[in-house]
A and B are shown apart, each in its own frame.
Chain A
Amino acid sequence: MYFSRGRAVSTAILAVAVIVILVAAGGGYYYYSTVYAPATTTPIKIGVVIQESGFLALAGVPGLTAIKIWANDTNAAGGLLGHKIQIIAYDDASDTSKVPALIQKLISVDNVDFLVTLGTVDTAAAMPVASQSGKIILGLFGTNANAGINYSKFFQAAPIGPDPNYDQVKGYFELANSLSPKPQTVAFVAVQNDFGQQCAIGGAKAVKVFGFRIVANETYPPTQTDFSSLMTKVKSTNPDIAFVCSYPPDSIGIVQAAKEVNFVPKLMGGGMIGPQFTALEAALGKTLQGVVTFAYWVPEPTINFPGVNTLIQKYEAVANASGAAAFDPLGYLYPPYSYAALQMLGQAVTACNCLGNNDQLATYIHGHTFSTVGGDMNFTSFGEWTYSRVLWIQYQNIAGASVNAFAGPGHQVIVWPATYKSGNLAYPFPGWQG
């Protein structure tokens, strides 16, 4: 059969393009595993489905790095009950639809002992398959992912609390309630996705509890580019409190637009995901001064749990050595509780001495408190923390637009809860700077 050279070239190019598409579409299946410390005995396999690429890799890469640091630390100390730790990690490319199949592969093919996922959406996607396996599931930051399933072997590591929607945001309103003069009115701005919806539901509950009045209740699509009109509209309602539930790119756009239209409520912030990421902090610089948002850990002296600073040093060394922009150079948000979750598991496996009996291990975890780099943690029957320790921080003493301007204590000052308070809230919001 005649087959011209040109046709062969174009066919080959097409084939390459199709392969590239298939590989990319297949995502995680081709980002196979990182294995630590070859086992001298049967290793304990920890299967991780996480976002190593895609838009949520900003969370997944630091989280996985902390898991690897824990594995290295544990193996260096002789492993768990004499077994080395083996991490098998698959990248779901921030594509939730890939999660169930990857979880199934970890269970059926890799025969892992424990399962780990990160983020509410991915964890929720993993739960139907994972909960059938009978294995312990660690849902890092998988808030409320066990709702409706009530799987007894699920444990969520972030310190949010037993009523996740409400506990995640109640501190912001409790803080507002404690101010003098007490602010009265609230404007809600929420992104139209699962996070925004849950955040707004929690906020609405808090508004009722503390007796505020909602004067604006705005939502926006995740594709929103410009927030000027939205902020102008919110400003026209003259609220005392701005309560924003936003994702990373939007948080930046909202802060920029609020400053541009000179929207100055008495309390500016809310459940904003984004300012916590160092690259975005550095880009906004002094503009963040006075903004209040949540955190789970910050390098303030009032929340210096044993081992957390060592972890951060190790994390920052890995991040600096990699030179890859995938890393959050400071790592205050995801690494502490990712590491803490595995630390809790390690303590439980060792103390229970019941490796292989997940029912017994889960019962042990439910019945005990664990001391970790994220502080003491214990769990409700559905796997959330029994108490809330979400921190509310205010950006203060921001010297400029660089990573260093946000590094170390004194820049993300804890203003709530009182137990961990490291400074006073600048109130009313002093207005936009920078």
Chain B
Amino acid sequence: MAFDLLLESIATGLLVGGFYAALSLGLTISFGLTDIANVAHPAFIFLGAYLALALSQAFHLDPIVSGVVLVLPFYFLGNALYLFYNKAFERRGESSLAGLVLFFGLLILLEVGMASEFGVGLKAIYSPYGSVALNIGPLSLPLRFVYSFVAGVAAVVLLQLFLTKTFQGRAIRAVAQDAQALSLMGAKPATVKLIATGVSMATAALAGGLILAVGPISPYQDRLLIGRVFAVVVLGGSGSVLGTLLGGILLGVSENITTIYLGAGWSLAVSAVILLAVLALRPSGILRR
């Protein structure tokens, strides 16, 4: 029985980790690769969740499918956001503190906007797999997390292929290392960041669909998410997509094992210790970019 408990906690931790990774991918790109400290990213995830809710209700779509449908509009939203950021701050060398203030302002605007438009209460959507488990041997795996894990891993794989196999992807990785050298090679850093911000925001749409599939949402819930997604990004190695997946899994599994052996109340404390330990031993995270 004890072994079954351990096995189940690891398995569900793995699934939850994939979910965490999906939520954190956008920050990995913006924070880790383009040096844009978009602290409003979790709020964009919830914007995605609310729009996915509206789509699902209007067209009877699965929330995850709704999230996928929103990927392209969010890509363009990311483009627009970067154009604004670039024109107002980055081009004038005011991207650090002023940019941070902008994103904080945006975070609050989004929260207030979502509360006004969608209401302040918790919203949820019924899905046929909402409380259903996939039973494999002694394991009961929540289907909503199984699907979130699959979607998260698929997003990680696609993003990794994009960043390593395409010109634009390699340019995004290059801009993080040396924007000036990139411009000498004929690529415009601003254009590269335009694409990167679009991709980052596109992942927020998918994450929004996943978060809606997993549980209820409310406009201010993003604040509960900020710490966790930043922890995943830092754990994994800022800017590393595969590292984000590993960071998410490490956090998910450790939280679940802690729940079984110490109690759920200790899970955050144990996660913090793991984060500190990783940073002490590998300051650049599990995988360097």
Contact = CB atoms under 8 A, between A and B. Distances in A.
Contacts of B126: 282-285, 401
B69 interface: no
Task: Name the residue among A220, A280, A325 with the largest chain B CB count within 10 angstroms.
Answer: A325
Interface stretch (B114-122, B151-159, B184-192): B114-122
A13 interface: yes
B110 to A, nearest CB: 11
B263 A226 contact: no
Contacts of B120: 52-55, 57-58, 61, 325-326
Given A262-B140, A280-B124, A10 B92 contact: yes
Given A224-B264, A226-B256, A434-B131, A20 B9 contact: no
Interface string B81-107: 000000111011010001001101110
A202 interface: no
Chain B interface bracket (under 10, 10 to 19, 20 to 34, 35 or more): 35 or more
Interface stretch (A177-185, A250-258, A350-358): A250-258
A24 B112 CA distance: 8
B125 interface: yes
Interface residues of A, number: 64
B239 to A, nearest CB: 25
Interface stretch (B41-49, B173-181, B211-219, B276-284): B211-219
A52 B12 CA distance: 37
B112 A14 contact: no
17 contacts: A219-B264, A220-B265, A223-B228, A228-B8, A228-B256, A229-B13, A229-B255, A230-B259, A230-B264, A233-B259, A257-B142, A262-B133, A274-B122, A284-B126, A326-B119, A327-B119, A401-B126
A325 B132 contact: no
Contact of A249 (B109, B112, B143, B216): B216
Interface in B58-99: 87-89, 91-92, 94, 98
A260 interface: yes
A55 B220 contact: yes
A1 interface: no
Given A226-B256, A249-B216, A256 B130 contact: yes
B289 interface: no
Task: Name the residue among A7, A17, A18, A434 with the largest chain B CB count within 10 angstroms.
Answer: A17
Secondary structure of the A contact surface, majority rule: helix
A57 B119 CA distance: 9
B264 A221 contact: yes
A324 B119 contact: yes
Task: Name the residue among A218, A253, A261, A285 with the largest chain B CB count within 10 angstroms.
Answer: A261
Contacts of A7: 92
Contacts of B115: 53-54, 57, 326
B213 to A, nearest CB: 11
Nearest to A58: B121
Contacts of B265: 192, 219-221
B267 A221 contact: yes
B236 to A, nearest CB: 18
Interface string B125-151: 110001111000000111111000000
By Cβ-Cβ distance, the 4 closest A-B pairs, closest first, are A325-B119, A17-B105, A283-B124, A57-B120
Interface of A: 6-7, 9-10, 13-14, 16-18, 20-21, 24, 52-55, 57-58, 61, 94, 192, 218-226, 228-230, 232-233, 236, 248-249, 252-253, 255-257, 259-262, 274, 277, 279-280, 282-285, 287, 324-328, 401, 432, 434
Contacts of A252: 122, 124, 215-216
B104 A229 contact: no
A218 B220 contact: no
Contacts of A261: 8, 133, 140
A58 B123 CA distance: 10
B188 to A, nearest CB: 19
Contacts of A223: 224, 227-228, 268
Contacts of B122: 58, 248-249, 252, 274, 277, 279-280
B260 interface: yes
Contacts of B91: 6
Interface string B237-265: 00000000000000010011101100111
Contacts of A14: 98, 101-102
A16 B105 CA distance: 8
Contacts of B133: 259-262
A284 B131 CA distance: 8
A226 B260 CA distance: 13
Contact of B131 (A236, A259, A280): A259
A169 B221 CA distance: 28
Given A220-B259, A225-B214, 7 more contacts: A18-B101, A224-B264, A224-B267, A232-B260, A277-B121, A279-B216, A283-B216
Given A223-B268, A228-B142, A229-B9, A280 B216 contact: yes
A434 B132 CA distance: 9
B162 to A, nearest CB: 28
A287 B214 CA distance: 15
A280 B259 CA distance: 26
A226 B115 CA distance: 25
B5 interface: yes
A432 B130 CA distance: 13
Contacts of A287: 130-131
B105 A228 contact: no
B112 to A, nearest CB: 6
B102 A13 contact: yes
B108 interface: yes
Nearest to A261: B140
Given A218-B263, A249-B215, A225 B16 contact: yes
A79 to B, nearest CB: 31
Contacts of A225: 16, 19, 214-215
Contacts of A58: 120-122
A328 B131 contact: no
